[in-house]
Amino acid sequence: MYAIVDLAGQQVKVEKDGKFYINRIETEVDATVEFDKVLLFENEGKTEVGMPYVDGCKVKAKVLSHLKGDKVIVFKKKRRKGYKKTRGHRQFLTQIQIEEIITK
């Protein structure tokens, strides 16, 4: 059983007890979150596709932690002009664990 869910602007294939990193959501650690934007649901070979979302299908997840991702270096340079810029970026992430996928 799996589902494809819209989680904080990203489409993610989720399964029960799976752990995922998503963009930061404003919730407490150890809180339970429900996502109702299920795009596709599959159970034992039976697939249900939403238009745009599957009715009555939800995904429950538990927030494990809030953290920052790996640093990404952005380097800009224009040759022969003396222009160089180095910037870094670390994305704010939330780690979640899927507890259950609820259907109709």
pLDDT one-digit tens code per residue, 23-42 = 999 999 999 999 999 999 99
- CA of 53: how far to CAs of 12, 23, 27, 87, in Å? 14, 21, 24, 39
Predicted confidence band of residue 9 (pLDDT cuts 50, 70, 90): confident
Per-residue pLDDT, 102: 92
Domain with 22, as residue range(s), is 2-102
- CA of 96: how far to CAs of 19, 29, 41, 46, 77, in Å? 6, 9, 19, 26, 38
Give the predicted TM-score (pTM) of the model: 0.82
Q: Which two tokens stand for residue 20?
A: 């995922």
Residue 104 and residue 57 in contact, taking contact as beta carbons nearer than 8 Å: yes
Counting the structural domains of the chain, the total is 1
Average pLDDT, the chain: 95
Mean pLDDT of 66-88: 97
> What residues are paired with 33 via a beta bridge?
61
Mean pLDDT of 3-27: 93
